[in-house]
Structure 1
C-alpha cells in the first residue's frame, strides 16, 4: 500500500488542504489514516475517490451529495460523464489514472475506445494517452504507484497499439528501424513512434526490447535502413553510450530518439521532446 501526504493529494487532485480537512470534519468524507506521530496519510483507494470527487465537483455536484455516495456510485457517475463528448481531456487523464491505480481494466478500455471513436486513433494517443502517461510519471517519479500498476496499464496500451499496427499495411518508403537498446524495456513510446511512421507509409522494422547495440549493424545491412528510432526512459549505461557513439561514428545511419535527453549524443543524434516533434520531422523528411 502506498501512502500519500495531504500535500501529495492537493497536488494530484487539485483539492485544497483546507477543503480536505473541512470535509473530513463535517462529513467524515475520506478519513485519512495517521502515522504513529499523528501525520495524515491517504491510500491508493482514497486518492481514487478524491480524484473522482474533484471531477464531480467541477460538474456541479455538492460535496454533501458526494459524501453520501459509495465509492462505486462515485466511480459510476464519473464514468457516465466520461462518455460525454464535451468532457475535457484533463478530466479523462485523471479518470485513466484512477482506473490504473484501481487496476480497473474495463474503465481504461472504455475511456480509450470512446475517445478513439470520437477523435480517431492518432489523436487519442497524442492528446489523451501521452498526457496520461506524463501524469502517471508524476506518481511514479514520487514512488506513488506500484510497479504492478505500471506494468498493468503498459500492457493494455501495448495491446491496443499492437492491434492497430497489425491492421496497417507495411509502408513502401525507406525503412526505419525501431529498437529499444540494451536494458530498456518500456515499449509504449516505441510502438507509438512505429505507428506514426507507418501511418506515413514508412516501412517499419520493429526489433522490440533489449537490443544490443552491436546487433544493429547486421540489421542495417539486411534492410538498408538509414534511420534508427529508439526511446530512453532510463539513463543508459555508460557502456551503452560508448558503444552507441562508436557505432554512429562508423555508420551512415541516423539515430533518432525520444524520452530522456542524452547530452553525450547531442552531436550524433536527433532528439524529439514529444511526439509532435517526431511527426513534424517525418512529415518534412519522408
Structure 2
C-alpha cells in the first residue's frame, strides 16, 4: 500500500521540483492540464513519499501560488522579494523579506523560527563556476527489476496423487465469491465521489473509530480547509456523520432483511 510504502535504494523518495512556477500557471489549460496534477502531489505526496518543491520569482502572477499547493507547504524559504505584497503572498503578515539587505539571505518559515529570526545565508547557485565544480553524479532512475515484487511460485492446478488414489483438483467457486467481493468493495467507498471526497471517506473508514478532523487531514493529505468543506458536504449527503462530541464517523447503512 502506498500509505505504508517504505523507501528503499531501488525505490527511494521522489522529489518533484517545479522551477518558474508562475510560468507554469500561465501555460496551464484544459487541453494541457499542469497545475491540477501538481496540486494532487502537494495534497497526497506526504503519504506517497513524494516531496514537491515549488520555486517562483513571481508569487503574485495570476493567482500566485495555487492555494492547494501553498496550503500544504510545510517549509518556506524566501529570499529578498520585490515588495511587501510579494512577501505577504508567500510568508504572511509580519515578515520583512522585502527589507533584506541583498541577495543570498533568506527568512525561513515552518521550522519553529518566527519573523524576528536572523536571516540565513543560502548557497548562491547562480555562480556557474561553483555549480560546474560540483562532483558528478548519475541521475537516479527507477530500477524496475529491483522494485518489482518477487514472483509468486506457480501452483499446479492438480496436485500429484499418491499411487492408487484419485488426483485432487483445487476448484475456486468464482461465481459465488466474485459478487460478494465486489459488493464489499463497493460498500467500502461510495460511488460517485470525487477523488478528494473519496480520500476523506477512505481516511475515516480506515481509522475504524471516531476521528477528529485533524486526523482526517493527516491521513488523507488533503488541505485542512478542503477537508472541512468536504466533511460537511458528505455529512449532508449521509455518507459521514458526527458523534455527540463532534468526532467524524462513517454513516451507518440500514440493511433490510
When normalised by structure 1's length, the TM-score is: 0.22
Which is helix-richer, 1 or 2?
A: 1
Larger Rg: 2
